[in-house]
Amino acid sequence: MGMEAQVMTPNSAMAYSTRELMIIASAREIRDGEAVFVGMRLPIAAFGVARLTYAPNAVGLFEVGLAREMPAADIAAMSKRLLAIMSHERHRLVERVDYVTSPGFLGGGDARAKLGLPGGPAAVITDRAILRPRGDDGELHLCSVHPGHSLDEVRRHTGWDLQIAQDCAETPPPTAEELSALRKVDSEGHWR
């Protein structure tokens, strides 16, 4: 992913990588007792951290294999809360996509409900920031900027006129407990 920078802030006792912050920010989103469809790579580490910290009773379902003639986005479409983890690049975060693999809020308003789809995206966690849907149309707004990054940088790497949430703040750095849990889950440092 090309995001190996080490970050050290005055409020953190330990250095951490951007990937570690992404994983921990994702783990913070998992609620105790939730049933979670867990994607590959960073989401597996995030689920492990969540189980060791915030959500010890969360249940994970890994690598769901669906067999059919046509591919479908069942998990993403039917999720009550969908989290995405990705690199924050202008060509990936575009105003309009050519092809929808995981439906978000579609045209906004009640478009998901009309199709019988519950919930929707809850957050997009990138290597620079956290975006969350806001308003009737569910447009992604900047809600936090990771330490070591700036508002201008995030906007430059976003393919639309990114709106800023009123409560936008700096992403809290990982705690010692969170980093310890992640380093236990990923003891060989493969994903972090």
Cβ atoms 47, 72 nearer than 8 A? no
In a domain, 192, yes or no: no
CATH number reported for the structural domain that contains residue 118 in this entry: 3.40.1080.10
E strand residue ranges, 97-162: 120-126, 129-134, 139-145
Query: Which tokens hold the place of 147?
Result: 């330490």
In a domain, 9, yes or no: no
Domain count, the chain: 1
pLDDT of residue 184: 96
In a domain, 191, yes or no: no
DSSP states of 28-57: HHPPTT-EEEE-SSHHHHHHHHHHHTT-TT
In a domain, 83, yes or no: yes
Cβ atoms 94, 160 nearer than 8 A? yes
In a domain, 74, yes or no: yes
Cβ atoms 34, 83 nearer than 8 A? no
pLDDT tens per residue across all 192 residues of the chain: 444 555 655 555 579 999 999 999 999 999 999 999 998 889 999 999 999 999 999 999 887 666 667 667 777 888 889 999 999 999 999 998 888 888 888 888 888 889 899 888 999 999 999 999 999 889 999 999 999 999 999 999 999 999 999 999 999 999 999 999 999 999 998 887
In a domain, 24, yes or no: yes
In a domain, 44, yes or no: yes
The domain of 74 spans 14-185
In a domain, 123, yes or no: yes
pLDDT of residue 146: 98
Q: Which amino acid is at 25?
A: A
Give the predicted TM-score (pTM) of the model: 0.87
